[in-house]
A and B are shown apart, each in its own frame.
Chain A
């Protein structure tokens, strides 16, 4: 039995008296313990609705759903001690109270043994660099600090599953990097299962071996990240700055897609090596500078939606 079992899960919402809107349309997947899964899709695709059903907040309209062996909406309160949830855009912390108070209350309501609580808190404070902020009211924390506080709050009770809904939204590059590092360490140390929704595909690239893509309520892809890139038929781009303006470069294995003054853009398949193309360009032209743009996973996904 998988840790998360989803079969033909559906949720519809009645919008006034018109037809029902299907937010999640017969979605099926399994997640095994210790997996780190990225769950992506455009706004309104059904990501949050799925997470809310997995956590028991929303009752599914139909389908089969088991998390850690139980039906989340029927056993929501019991399941709560086995999962951690972080809603990126809203804090689970008590707004007007210092972080310390929030954490201590969580210890009580999750009934975390004091020794375990100390140990976890010390570890997370150190990993997330939060030690100095314990006595600061949550409303005075920066977004990045608050997010780290939220993640600590979601993990104090050693959940088996951590759901992260847009955990890096609004964070700066440094904070994002630190957060990803922390999540990787968490998964490595404790085998915590991670399900992450995000708009930032770098989150996925840094963390997830597996990606699920949802669009208009249906799962359009479920597999390895590399497979997704291949399936999208995506390409890499070589950006060439020539010494002066020239007609479009012609080299084997690449197609020039754009010329703008001395700068030209050449695309080539993502699975091909850049080396022969670079040397062919360098051999035939006076090159001032070169750079390679990796396949933009957003383009891959856009193609995926378009290709349906």
Chain B
């Protein structure tokens, strides 16, 4: 797994498989554009809701609209990127039932790569763009320093990796139950919803939970406090604001371990 040449080969296989699906989808070009633009508008409504909220209040959990945009966009971009690249894994139960997984297992590309690239839908990029736009707007209000810019980049990468881990880890439940995609959604999409708001709107117990047990606070909350120049409302030490990459690596490692266990326990279907 750690061999860079092998990783490059797997990435190449991912691109080859996805390219095939993009080409297939582009056969119906008008339909593709409609779905993509539609996706962009629908997810856009999401932030419009927050914007309307700010017509009635000046701050949410002590954060301005621009700061909330930065938080929302940071989590949104990370989620949308993870969803674009590995979101298909939530269909793994269906792949098991249809016997598709068996076929993937006899091809010389790691199963995880094939599962994630299967029926790759480029139209999900609409969500990335929408979140990036909100993040970009939030960014214009940030008092930039080189280290804050770097930390923002790291935050997006780590956040994407954390959602990546959540997608994979929770999809593995389906190795045992074959039909429980909704359970995984509660954690992936649910996690995204929670981190779309400043965590200061929640009681401190919830934030404790989102830090130590289900650590999605590291997707955007802690690094954003540093970038926005805010003190931690719950009094956690400053170094937690740099911890996102560590949490991301640990969660990805854990998710891959669960994945391996799931594949080894895989029972296939009859005949």
Which A residues are closer than 8 A to B by beta carbons? 13, 43-44, 48, 52, 55-59, 73, 76-78, 80-81, 83, 85, 87, 89-90, 92, 94, 96-97, 101, 105, 108-111, 165
Contacts and interface: CB of A to CB of B under 8 A. Distances in A.
B105 A57 contact: yes
Contact of B108 (A52, A59, A77): A77
A97 B105 CA distance: 20
Contact of A110 (B98, B108, B111, B264): B108
A78 B106 CA distance: 9
A74 to B, nearest CB: 10
A57 B266 contact: yes
B5 to A, nearest CB: 13
Contact of B20 (A57, A77, A105, A165): A105
Which of B100, B105, B110, B265 has most A Cβ within 10 Å? B105
> Interface on chain B toward A: helix, strand, loop, or mixed SS?
helix
A108 B23 CA distance: 16
Contacts of A111: 108
A109 B24 contact: no
B106 A101 contact: no
A193 B237 CA distance: 65
6 closest cross-chain pairs (CB), A and B: A80-B108, A81-B108, A90-B99, A85-B106, A108-B16, A92-B103
Interface string B239-271: 000000000000000000000000011111011
B17 interface: yes
B179 interface: no
Contacts of B201: none
A250 to B, nearest CB: 48
Contacts of A59: 264-266
A101 B105 contact: no
15 contacts: A55-B105, A57-B102, A57-B266, A58-B266, A77-B109, A77-B111, A80-B107, A85-B103, A89-B99, A90-B99, A90-B103, A97-B24, A109-B13, A109-B108, A110-B107
Contacts of A94: 20
Q: Most chain-A CB neighbours within 10 Å: which of B24, B102, B106, B268?
A: B106
A157 B265 CA distance: 29
A52 B102 CA distance: 8
Nearest to B264: A59
A83 B102 CA distance: 14
Interface in B129-161: none
B264 A73 contact: yes
A166 to B, nearest CB: 8
